[in-house]
Amino acid sequence: MDRNSIVLITGAGGMVGSAVRDLLCRCGYERVLAPSRKELDLCDREMVDGYMSVNRPEYVFMIAAKVGGIAANQADPVGFLSENVRMQLNLFEACLKYKTRKNLFLGSSCIYPRECPQPMKEEYLLAGPLESTNEGYALAKIVGLKLARYYHRQYGMVTVCPMPCNIYGTNDHFDFQRSHVLSALVRRFVDACDEGRPDVTLWGTGAARREFLHVIDAAEAIVFLMERCDDSDIVNVGTGEEISVRELAERISRMVGFRGDIRWDHGKPDGMPRKCLDIARLSNAGFRHKINLEAGVQRTIEEYRRLKAEGRIP
Protein backbone atom coordinates (compact mmCIF):
# COMPACT_ATOMS: atom_id res chain seq x y z
CA MET A 1 0.00 0.00 0.00
CA ASP A 2 1.60 3.34 -0.88
CA ARG A 3 0.43 6.85 0.00
CA ASN A 4 -1.06 7.29 -3.45
CA SER A 5 -3.18 4.11 -3.43
CA ILE A 6 -6.95 4.36 -3.60
CA VAL A 7 -8.15 2.99 -0.28
CA LEU A 8 -11.77 2.22 0.64
CA ILE A 9 -12.85 2.03 4.29
CA THR A 10 -16.33 0.68 4.97
CA GLY A 11 -17.90 1.59 8.30
CA ALA A 12 -15.87 4.81 8.48
CA GLY A 13 -18.73 6.50 10.35
CA GLY A 14 -18.31 4.03 13.23
CA MET A 15 -15.83 3.75 16.10
CA VAL A 16 -13.20 1.51 14.47
CA GLY A 17 -13.63 2.73 10.88
CA SER A 18 -13.28 6.40 11.86
CA ALA A 19 -10.07 5.63 13.80
CA VAL A 20 -8.61 3.79 10.78
CA ARG A 21 -9.62 6.67 8.48
CA ASP A 22 -8.00 9.25 10.79
CA LEU A 23 -4.82 7.18 11.08
CA LEU A 24 -4.48 6.75 7.30
CA CYS A 25 -5.00 10.47 6.81
CA ARG A 26 -2.35 11.24 9.48
CA CYS A 27 0.04 8.81 7.72
CA GLY A 28 -0.35 10.79 4.50
CA TYR A 29 -2.71 8.57 2.46
CA GLU A 30 -4.31 11.03 0.07
CA ARG A 31 -6.96 8.99 -1.71
CA VAL A 32 -9.04 7.56 1.11
CA LEU A 33 -12.69 6.79 0.32
CA ALA A 34 -14.94 6.72 3.40
CA PRO A 35 -18.55 6.55 2.17
CA SER A 36 -21.47 6.70 4.59
CA ARG A 37 -24.10 3.95 4.57
CA LYS A 38 -26.30 6.29 2.51
CA GLU A 39 -23.62 6.51 -0.18
CA LEU A 40 -22.78 2.80 -0.01
CA ASP A 41 -25.28 0.41 1.60
CA LEU A 42 -23.35 -2.85 1.68
CA CYS A 43 -26.55 -4.90 1.87
CA ASP A 44 -27.48 -3.60 -1.58
CA ARG A 45 -25.61 -5.73 -4.14
CA GLU A 46 -26.20 -3.40 -7.09
CA MET A 47 -25.09 -0.37 -5.12
CA VAL A 48 -21.89 -2.13 -4.05
CA ASP A 49 -21.15 -3.19 -7.62
CA GLY A 50 -21.86 0.31 -8.93
CA TYR A 51 -19.68 2.01 -6.30
CA MET A 52 -16.75 -0.34 -6.91
CA SER A 53 -16.97 -0.03 -10.69
CA VAL A 54 -16.86 3.80 -10.50
CA ASN A 55 -14.30 4.25 -7.69
CA ARG A 56 -12.00 1.25 -8.30
CA PRO A 57 -10.35 1.03 -4.88
CA GLU A 58 -7.06 -0.86 -4.77
CA TYR A 59 -7.22 -1.66 -1.06
CA VAL A 60 -10.43 -2.33 0.88
CA PHE A 61 -10.81 -2.26 4.66
CA MET A 62 -14.01 -4.26 5.39
CA ILE A 63 -14.86 -2.77 8.77
CA ALA A 64 -18.61 -2.12 8.51
CA ALA A 65 -20.85 -4.57 10.32
CA LYS A 66 -24.07 -4.72 12.27
CA VAL A 67 -22.62 -4.57 15.80
CA GLY A 68 -24.22 -4.57 19.26
CA GLY A 69 -24.12 -5.80 22.85
CA ILE A 70 -25.76 -8.93 24.30
CA ALA A 71 -29.28 -7.42 24.43
CA ALA A 72 -29.25 -6.32 20.78
CA ASN A 73 -27.81 -9.68 19.65
CA GLN A 74 -30.43 -11.65 21.57
CA ALA A 75 -33.26 -9.52 20.21
CA ASP A 76 -32.26 -9.83 16.55
CA PRO A 77 -30.17 -12.92 15.75
CA VAL A 78 -31.65 -13.04 12.23
CA GLY A 79 -30.46 -9.49 11.52
CA PHE A 80 -26.99 -10.07 12.96
CA LEU A 81 -26.45 -13.20 10.87
CA SER A 82 -28.16 -12.27 7.61
CA GLU A 83 -27.20 -8.58 7.30
CA ASN A 84 -23.56 -9.26 8.11
CA VAL A 85 -23.31 -12.21 5.71
CA ARG A 86 -25.04 -10.20 2.97
CA MET A 87 -22.60 -7.26 3.35
CA GLN A 88 -19.63 -9.60 3.22
CA LEU A 89 -20.83 -11.55 0.17
CA ASN A 90 -21.52 -8.36 -1.78
CA LEU A 91 -18.16 -6.84 -0.97
CA PHE A 92 -16.02 -9.94 -1.56
CA GLU A 93 -17.74 -10.50 -4.90
CA ALA A 94 -17.09 -6.90 -6.00
CA CYS A 95 -13.46 -7.00 -4.78
CA LEU A 96 -12.83 -10.00 -7.02
CA LYS A 97 -14.70 -8.52 -9.98
CA TYR A 98 -12.90 -5.16 -9.81
CA LYS A 99 -9.53 -6.75 -8.95
CA THR A 100 -8.55 -5.05 -5.71
CA ARG A 101 -4.89 -5.56 -4.75
CA LYS A 102 -5.54 -6.53 -1.14
CA ASN A 103 -8.41 -6.45 1.36
CA LEU A 104 -8.79 -6.62 5.09
CA PHE A 105 -11.74 -8.31 6.79
CA LEU A 106 -12.20 -7.36 10.43
CA GLY A 107 -13.36 -10.28 12.56
CA SER A 108 -13.94 -10.52 16.29
CA SER A 109 -12.78 -12.71 19.18
CA CYS A 110 -16.37 -14.00 19.53
CA ILE A 111 -15.60 -16.44 16.66
CA TYR A 112 -13.92 -18.75 19.19
CA PRO A 113 -15.83 -21.55 21.00
CA ARG A 114 -17.59 -20.76 24.28
CA GLU A 115 -15.42 -23.22 26.24
CA CYS A 116 -12.25 -22.34 24.36
CA PRO A 117 -8.93 -23.05 26.15
CA GLN A 118 -7.36 -19.75 27.25
CA PRO A 119 -5.58 -17.82 25.93
CA MET A 120 -7.33 -18.44 22.61
CA LYS A 121 -5.03 -19.37 19.75
CA GLU A 122 -5.98 -18.81 16.11
CA GLU A 123 -6.14 -22.57 15.47
CA TYR A 124 -9.01 -23.02 17.99
CA LEU A 125 -11.52 -21.69 15.45
CA LEU A 126 -14.44 -24.14 15.09
CA ALA A 127 -13.06 -26.46 17.79
CA GLY A 128 -16.38 -26.39 19.72
CA PRO A 129 -19.86 -24.83 20.06
CA LEU A 130 -20.21 -21.02 20.09
CA GLU A 131 -21.56 -18.83 22.90
CA SER A 132 -25.32 -18.72 22.32
CA THR A 133 -25.99 -15.04 23.16
CA ASN A 134 -24.25 -13.73 20.02
CA GLU A 135 -24.14 -16.85 17.87
CA GLY A 136 -25.64 -15.17 14.79
CA TYR A 137 -22.99 -12.44 14.76
CA ALA A 138 -20.18 -14.92 15.43
CA LEU A 139 -21.36 -17.24 12.64
CA ALA A 140 -21.43 -14.30 10.21
CA LYS A 141 -17.84 -13.41 11.16
CA ILE A 142 -16.78 -17.04 10.65
CA VAL A 143 -18.39 -16.98 7.18
CA GLY A 144 -16.35 -13.83 6.44
CA LEU A 145 -13.10 -15.49 7.50
CA LYS A 146 -13.84 -18.58 5.48
CA LEU A 147 -14.73 -16.47 2.43
CA ALA A 148 -11.39 -14.67 2.80
CA ARG A 149 -9.59 -18.01 2.93
CA TYR A 150 -11.55 -19.52 0.01
CA TYR A 151 -11.17 -16.45 -2.26
CA HIS A 152 -7.43 -16.61 -1.60
CA ARG A 153 -7.18 -20.33 -2.34
CA GLN A 154 -9.47 -20.29 -5.37
CA TYR A 155 -8.65 -16.92 -6.97
CA GLY A 156 -5.44 -15.71 -5.29
CA MET A 157 -7.18 -12.66 -3.77
CA VAL A 158 -5.52 -11.75 -0.44
CA THR A 159 -7.67 -10.62 2.51
CA VAL A 160 -5.88 -9.98 5.79
CA CYS A 161 -7.99 -11.12 8.79
CA PRO A 162 -7.36 -9.43 12.17
CA MET A 163 -9.41 -10.84 15.11
CA PRO A 164 -9.66 -8.12 17.76
CA CYS A 165 -10.69 -8.48 21.39
CA ASN A 166 -13.21 -5.98 22.85
CA ILE A 167 -12.50 -2.51 21.47
CA TYR A 168 -13.47 0.72 23.25
CA GLY A 169 -12.72 4.44 23.06
CA THR A 170 -13.41 7.51 20.95
CA ASN A 171 -16.71 7.39 18.99
CA ASP A 172 -17.97 4.35 20.93
CA HIS A 173 -21.73 4.04 21.43
CA PHE A 174 -23.12 5.03 24.81
CA ASP A 175 -26.77 4.23 24.12
CA PHE A 176 -27.88 1.09 25.94
CA GLN A 177 -29.03 -0.78 22.82
CA ARG A 178 -25.67 -0.60 21.03
CA SER A 179 -23.09 -0.07 23.78
CA HIS A 180 -20.57 -2.74 24.77
CA VAL A 181 -19.53 -3.54 28.30
CA LEU A 182 -16.91 -0.83 28.92
CA SER A 183 -18.82 2.13 27.49
CA ALA A 184 -22.02 0.89 29.21
CA LEU A 185 -20.22 0.78 32.57
CA VAL A 186 -18.78 4.28 32.08
CA ARG A 187 -22.25 5.63 31.37
CA ARG A 188 -23.86 3.79 34.30
CA PHE A 189 -21.38 5.07 36.86
CA VAL A 190 -21.04 8.63 35.57
CA ASP A 191 -24.87 8.97 35.45
CA ALA A 192 -25.30 7.37 38.90
CA CYS A 193 -22.70 9.76 40.29
CA ASP A 194 -24.29 12.82 38.65
CA GLU A 195 -27.74 11.84 39.93
CA GLY A 196 -26.51 10.87 43.43
CA ARG A 197 -27.99 7.36 43.17
CA PRO A 198 -27.31 4.99 46.11
CA ASP A 199 -26.66 1.91 43.96
CA VAL A 200 -26.09 0.60 40.45
CA THR A 201 -27.35 -2.79 39.22
CA LEU A 202 -25.32 -4.50 36.51
CA TRP A 203 -26.05 -7.49 34.27
CA GLY A 204 -24.78 -10.98 35.20
CA THR A 205 -22.43 -12.02 37.98
CA GLY A 206 -19.37 -9.94 37.05
CA ALA A 207 -17.30 -13.14 36.82
CA ALA A 208 -16.83 -13.04 33.04
CA ARG A 209 -13.28 -12.08 32.05
CA ARG A 210 -12.55 -9.82 29.10
CA GLU A 211 -9.67 -8.21 27.22
CA PHE A 212 -9.90 -4.55 26.11
CA LEU A 213 -8.00 -2.65 23.43
CA HIS A 214 -8.28 1.10 22.90
CA VAL A 215 -9.56 1.96 19.41
CA ILE A 216 -6.43 4.03 18.63
CA ASP A 217 -4.30 0.91 19.21
CA ALA A 218 -6.81 -1.22 17.27
CA ALA A 219 -6.51 1.11 14.26
CA GLU A 220 -2.69 0.99 14.50
CA ALA A 221 -2.78 -2.83 14.52
CA ILE A 222 -5.21 -2.97 11.58
CA VAL A 223 -3.07 -0.70 9.38
CA PHE A 224 0.11 -2.48 10.56
CA LEU A 225 -1.30 -5.85 9.42
CA MET A 226 -2.69 -4.49 6.14
CA GLU A 227 0.74 -3.07 5.28
CA ARG A 228 2.71 -6.20 6.23
CA CYS A 229 0.57 -9.36 5.75
CA ASP A 230 0.27 -11.14 2.46
CA ASP A 231 -1.91 -14.07 3.44
CA SER A 232 -5.50 -14.60 4.54
CA ASP A 233 -4.77 -16.30 7.87
CA ILE A 234 -6.37 -15.11 11.11
CA VAL A 235 -4.26 -12.88 13.37
CA ASN A 236 -5.46 -12.20 16.92
CA VAL A 237 -5.31 -8.53 17.94
CA GLY A 238 -5.32 -7.57 21.61
CA THR A 239 -3.24 -6.78 24.66
CA GLY A 240 -2.97 -10.33 26.01
CA GLU A 241 -4.25 -9.00 29.39
CA GLU A 242 -7.66 -9.80 30.88
CA ILE A 243 -9.80 -8.39 33.67
CA SER A 244 -13.10 -9.57 35.20
CA VAL A 245 -16.17 -7.44 34.56
CA ARG A 246 -16.47 -7.08 38.35
CA GLU A 247 -12.93 -5.66 38.68
CA LEU A 248 -13.53 -3.38 35.72
CA ALA A 249 -16.81 -2.11 37.23
CA GLU A 250 -15.11 -1.44 40.57
CA ARG A 251 -12.25 0.37 38.86
CA ILE A 252 -14.55 2.59 36.80
CA SER A 253 -16.76 3.35 39.81
CA ARG A 254 -13.65 4.49 41.76
CA MET A 255 -12.38 6.56 38.84
CA VAL A 256 -15.66 8.45 38.42
CA GLY A 257 -16.04 8.94 42.20
CA PHE A 258 -19.18 6.79 42.65
CA ARG A 259 -19.66 5.95 46.34
CA GLY A 260 -22.79 3.77 46.25
CA ASP A 261 -23.23 -0.04 46.07
CA ILE A 262 -22.73 -2.23 43.03
CA ARG A 263 -25.40 -4.95 42.67
CA TRP A 264 -25.40 -7.85 40.21
CA ASP A 265 -28.52 -9.15 38.45
CA HIS A 266 -27.75 -12.88 38.27
CA GLY A 267 -30.85 -13.44 36.12
CA LYS A 268 -29.09 -11.75 33.19
CA PRO A 269 -26.45 -13.52 31.07
CA ASP A 270 -22.69 -13.07 31.46
CA GLY A 271 -21.92 -14.06 27.88
CA MET A 272 -18.77 -16.09 27.29
CA PRO A 273 -17.00 -16.92 30.61
CA ARG A 274 -13.49 -15.96 29.43
CA LYS A 275 -12.18 -14.28 26.30
CA CYS A 276 -8.44 -13.71 26.32
CA LEU A 277 -6.48 -13.87 23.09
CA ASP A 278 -3.11 -15.45 22.48
CA ILE A 279 -1.37 -12.58 20.67
CA ALA A 280 1.95 -14.33 19.95
CA ARG A 281 1.48 -14.05 16.18
CA LEU A 282 0.90 -10.27 16.37
CA SER A 283 3.72 -9.73 18.91
CA ASN A 284 6.16 -11.76 16.82
CA ALA A 285 5.31 -9.54 13.85
CA GLY A 286 6.49 -6.58 15.98
CA PHE A 287 3.26 -4.93 17.19
CA ARG A 288 2.49 -3.85 20.74
CA HIS A 289 -0.37 -1.68 22.03
CA LYS A 290 0.49 1.70 23.63
CA ILE A 291 -2.58 2.76 25.66
CA ASN A 292 -3.01 0.82 28.91
CA LEU A 293 -6.47 0.16 30.35
CA GLU A 294 -6.24 2.76 33.13
CA ALA A 295 -5.33 5.57 30.68
CA GLY A 296 -7.89 4.41 28.11
CA VAL A 297 -10.72 4.27 30.66
CA GLN A 298 -9.80 7.73 31.96
CA ARG A 299 -9.97 9.09 28.41
CA THR A 300 -13.35 7.38 27.84
CA ILE A 301 -14.79 8.84 31.05
CA GLU A 302 -13.69 12.32 29.98
CA GLU A 303 -15.15 11.82 26.50
CA TYR A 304 -18.49 10.64 27.90
CA ARG A 305 -18.65 13.58 30.33
CA ARG A 306 -17.91 16.02 27.50
CA LEU A 307 -20.57 14.50 25.19
CA LYS A 308 -23.09 14.54 28.03
CA ALA A 309 -22.34 18.18 28.87
CA GLU A 310 -22.81 19.06 25.19
CA GLY A 311 -26.21 17.27 25.14
CA ARG A 312 -24.99 14.72 22.59
CA ILE A 313 -26.00 11.53 24.43
CA PRO A 314 -29.26 10.02 23.14
Residues that bind ligand NAP (CB under 6 A): 10-11, 13-17, 37, 40-43, 63-67, 87, 106, 108, 164, 166-167, 180
CB of 275 to ligand NAP, least distance (A): 10
- Closest to 200 measured CA to CA, from 215, 190, 209: 190
- Which DSSP string do the residues of the chain spell out, in sequence order? --TTSEEEETTTTSHHHHHHHHHHHHTT--EEE---TTT--TT-HHHHHHHHHHH--SEEEE-------HHHHHH-HHHHHHHHHHHHHHHHHHHHHTT-SEEEE---GGGS-TT--SSBPGGGTTSSPPPGGGHHHHHHHHHHHHHHHHHHHHH---EEEEEE-EEESTT---STTT--HHHHHHHHHHHHHHHT-SEEEEES-S--EE-EEEHHHHHHHHHHHHHH--S--EEEES-S--EEHHHHHHHHHHHHT--SEEEEETTS---SSB--B--HHHHHTT------HHHHHHHHHHHHHHHHHTT---
Q: Judged by CB, which is closer to ligand NAP: 20, or 229?
A: 20
- Nearest residue (CB) to ligand NAP, 170 versus 193: 170
Residue type (1 letter), 280: A
Provide the 10 A C-beta neighbour count for residue 217: 23
Q: Which is nearer to ligand NAP, 192 or 279 (CB)?
A: 279
Cβ proximity to ligand NAP: between 171 and 244 the closer is 171
Show the CA angle centred on residue 64, arms to residues 58 and 69, nearest 5°. 160
Tell the smallest beta-carbon distance from residue 167 to ligand NAP (Å).
4
14 or 204: whose CB is closer to ligand NAP?
A: 14
In the complex, which residue's CB is closest to ligand NAP? Answer: 14
To the nearest whole angstrom, how small is the minimum distance from the Cβ of residue 33 to ligand NAP?
A: 13
Nearer to ligand NAP, 103 or 192 (CB): 103
Active site (annotated) includes residue 151: no
Q: Which of 29, 59, 112, 137 is catalytic?
A: 137
Q: What's the min distance (Å) between Cβ of 238 and ligand NAP? A: 10
Q: Is 30 exposed, middle or buried (0-12, 13-18, 19+ CB in 10 A)?
A: exposed
Work out how close the CB of 137 gets to ligand NAP at its nearest, in angstroms, rounded to a whole number.
7
Question: How far apart are CB 11 and ligand NAP at their closest, in Å?
Answer: 3
Report, as residue numbers or ranges, the catalytic residues.
137
